[in-house]
Amino acid sequence: MAQERLTKGSLRRERFSTSVRRLRGFWALYKQSHIAMFGLFLVLAFIAVALAAPWVAPYDPRALVGKPFERPGEDHILGTDQVGRDIYSQLIWGSRISLMVGLFASVFSVAIGTAIGLVSGYLRGPIDTVLMRITDLFITLPSIPLMLILAAIIGRSVWNIILVIAVTGWTGTARMVRAQTLSIKERPYVEAARSVGARDSQIMFRHILPNIIPLIFANAIVGIVNAILAESGLSFLGLGDPTKPSWGLILRHANEVGAMATGRLWFIIPPGVCIMLIAIGFAFSSYSLDQIMNPRLRERRG
């Protein structure tokens, strides 16, 4: 018994040390890319701002703290909106909503797509046919009108927006995971596991899924970008949560009062720049991760 415990402890230590070596090797490759480091800097900067919003924002984003359409100045760095709310405070708190929607919507959509792709690719047969026809149906439906319809039906709240984006954004992940599963399930180690009596669930989650996780992770980061852009678009169109400050909602208010036509650029440029920068940050990180995790791209890069 003591020998068995010693063996298990040695295996755990070996696995831990292997994981540490892999992480160090990954970081060594990642920091070689200037694009990757720039993207990481942008993402971490926005995360820091979102976490520090209660201390960084000078005012409550919903409070009327000034005159309508005040120009940027000492009291209001980015001026005020049409009812006297501080735009800078709305911008800071809006980072929380954008990151929250992006992260949760991406996680949910990737989880749905991974489950469908894994089951479809491994089991094949009628189950594969049914799941892929459902996937094809969602692919053929135009995503923006579908999001608008769902958002209008289920109501205007942050969690409803997350649900809408997740329901409409899983198809790409499902296709990718299915293709990888079809390839991996024919490899010798999977056949060996099947021959010794491993259950289908064990093979899928212990042997196939770990080999797909790097691609899923890179795909999830792209999903964050798509979710942030989708949330901004829905809020701009009036289908976002009106009680939560977001960058899309700021742009909607700016559009309603004709900020561009009247020269109130402090109202419209900052949220647009923030959306652009956070999208660039995640896009650069995803591109670099894909290069590192995909052996063919890594060879081409080298």
Reduce the DSSP state of residue 124 to 3 states and report it.
coil
Number of structural domains (the chain) is 1
Give the CATH number of the domain where residue 173 resides.
1.10.3720.10
Over range 28-49, report the average pLDDT: 85
Could you report the per-residue pLDDT of 39-65, keeping only the tens digit for each? 889 999 999 999 998 898 888 888 888
Q: Which residues contact 289 (CB under 8 A, 6 or more apart)?
A: 30, 36, 214, 217, 218, 221
- In tens, the pLDDT along 86-125 reads 999 999 999 998 888 889 999 999 999 999 998 888 888 8
Whether 1 is in a domain gets the answer no
pLDDT band at 22 (very low <50, low <70, confident <90, very high): low
- Three-state DSSP at 109 gives helix
pLDDT of 78 > 80? The answer is yes
Average pLDDT over residues 148-161: 79
What CA–CA distance (Å, rounded) separates 257 from 252?
Answer: 9
- Give residue 97's domain range: 18-301
What torsion do the CA atoms of 274, 275, 280, 282 make, to the nearest 10 degrees?
110
The answer to whether residue 118 sits within a structural domain is yes
- pLDDT on residue 242: 81
Cα→Cα distances 244→94, 100, 200, 263, Å:
8, 12, 45, 26
d(CA 135, CA 55): 44
Region 144-151: what's the mean pLDDT? Answer: 76
In a domain, 294, yes or no: yes
User: Which CA distances in Å does 5 have to 16, 17, 77?
Assistant: 16, 18, 62
Q: pLDDT tens digit string along 164-190? A: 888 888 888 888 888 888 888 878 777
Give pLDDT tens digits for 198-242.
Answer: 787 788 888 788 888 878 888 888 888 888 888 888 888 887 788
Residue appearing with tokens 């020269």: 263
Residue 4 lies in a domain: no
- Is pLDDT at 14 greater than 70 in this prediction? no
**What confidence tier does 6 reach under pLDDT thresholds 50, 70, 90?**
very low
Instruction: Give the pLDDT band (50/70/90) at residue 155.
Output: confident
Question: Strand, helix or coil at 211?
Answer: helix
Q: Is the pLDDT of residue 8 over 60?
A: no
253-267: per-residue pLDDT in tens?
888 888 888 888 888
CA distance 216 to 135: 17
268 assigned to some structural domain: yes
**CA separation for the pair 65, 84 (Å, rounded):** 6
**9 band by pLDDT with thresholds 50, 70 and 90:** low
- How confident is the prediction for the chain on average, in pLDDT? 81
Q: Is residue 9 part of a domain?
A: no
- pLDDT value at position 295? 52
Q: What pLDDT was estimated at residue 46?
A: 92
Segment 123-132 long-range contacts (CB within 8 Å, at least 24 positions apart): 123/200, 128/178, 131/174, 132/178
Look at the block and give the residue holding tokens 């701009």. Answer: 236
Q: Which of 178, 189, 89 has its CA nearest to residue 139? A: 178
CB atoms within 10 A of CB 96: 20
In a domain? residue 5: no
The maximal CA–CA distance of the chain, rounded, in angstroms, is: 80
pLDDT for position 92: 92
Instruction: Check whether 2 has a pLDDT greater than 70.
Output: no
Task: Determine what percent of the chain is predicted with pLDDT higher than 90.
Answer: 12
In a domain, 33, yes or no: yes
Predicted TM-score (pTM) of this structure = 0.81
Query: Any residues with CB less than 8 A from the CB of 51 and at least 6 apart, and which?
Result: none
Q: Are 228 and 272 in contact (CB under 8 A)?
A: no
